[in-house]
A and B are shown apart, each in its own frame.
Chain A
């Protein structure tokens, strides 16, 4: 069965510092992996996705993630945090790209950015 573990429910960084949000997955087949962001009282917005092409994936707002099969990881990074990056981030996995394949989410990591 698929599962996702996000290490650290809260991460705090200073503005301009590196952002690193960790995600490890478990899947019996080559996975599709996603990072979503949720701002307060809003829905989830896709940041980036890995779909078996390039292992380094670039997304919106300067975020990127690297798929490492040997480590079963898909950590999210951003070189320099902005105040506007403060939000909750969710890693998700699915075992295919077929419509109808539900995503399995991690519990989320809340990112705080201080000035």
Chain B
């Protein structure tokens, strides 16, 4: 089984441009989570989505950031008008649907590393 797939692995943008990060969950998983990793700060939860629904976006910055998980295709994290402070590694994780036996762990992709010049 393919794991969580993220692309691009590395992305360079100039200030003011847009960044789009994609995530395809593991086969059979219908829940997607986005985390941001900054040096010395660990992973910070951003948003949790199911197909066509944002369930929890309590960790998303109020401006410039948005996420979607359409009925078809990957989940996308979109950052508009990027600034240098957006430079970070963005990780996507997935989990299976709610059913007996799921022990709460998340399965992570290898991350997308955004550099803003």
Q: Which residues of A pack against B, CB within 8 Å?
A: 9, 32, 34, 36, 41-46, 49, 51, 90, 94, 96-108
Q: Determine if A51 and B103 form an interchain contact, defined as CB atoms under 8 angstroms apart.
A: yes
Q: Determine if B98 and A90 form an interchain contact, defined as CB atoms under 8 angstroms apart.
A: no
Chain A CB within 10 Å, residue with most, of B42, B48, B113: B42
Q: Determine if A46 and B105 form an interchain contact, defined as CB atoms under 8 angstroms apart.
A: yes
C-alpha spacing A72/B16, complex, angstroms: 45
Q: Determine if B104 and A90 form an interchain contact, defined as CB atoms under 8 angstroms apart.
A: no
With contact pairs A99-B97, A100-B48, A102-B56 given, residues A94 and B42 touching in the complex (Cβ less than 8 Å):
no
Task: Give, as a whole number of angstroms, the nearest-CB distance from A49 to chain B.
Answer: 6
**Which residues of chain A are near B117, meaning CB under 8 Å?**
none
**Which residues of chain B are near A96, meaning CB under 8 Å?**
104
A36, A41, A94: the one contacting B104 at CB < 8 Å is: A94
Q: Determine if B41 and A102 form an interchain contact, defined as CB atoms under 8 angstroms apart.
A: no
**Which residues of chain A are near B91, meaning CB under 8 Å?**
43-44
Q: Determine if A100 and B31 form an interchain contact, defined as CB atoms under 8 angstroms apart.
A: yes
B86 within 8 A of A: no
Give the total of B residues in contact with A, Cβ under 8 Å.
33
Q: Determine if A42 and B110 form an interchain contact, defined as CB atoms under 8 angstroms apart.
A: yes
State the majority secondary structure of interface residues on A: loop
Task: Give, as a whole number of angstroms, the nearest-CB distance from A94 to chain B.
Answer: 5
With CB as the reference atom, state the residue of chain A lying closest to B113: A41
C-alpha spacing A33/B56, complex, angstroms: 21
With contact pairs A44-B91, A96-B104, A100-B48 given, residues A105 and B43 touching in the complex (Cβ less than 8 Å):
yes
Q: Determine if B42 and A51 form an interchain contact, defined as CB atoms under 8 angstroms apart.
A: no
**Which residues of chain A are near B108, meaning CB under 8 Å?**
36, 43-45
B33 within 8 A of A: yes
**Which residues of chain A are near B50, meaning CB under 8 Å?**
100
**Which residues of chain B are near A101, meaning CB under 8 Å?**
104
Task: Give, as a whole number of angstroms, the nearest-CB distance from A99 to chain B.
Answer: 4
B45, B56, B98, B107: the one contacting A98 at CB < 8 Å is: B98
With contact pairs A9-B40, A107-B42 given, residues A97 and B103 touching in the complex (Cβ less than 8 Å):
yes
With contact pairs A99-B95, A100-B31, A100-B98 given, residues A43 and B104 touching in the complex (Cβ less than 8 Å):
no
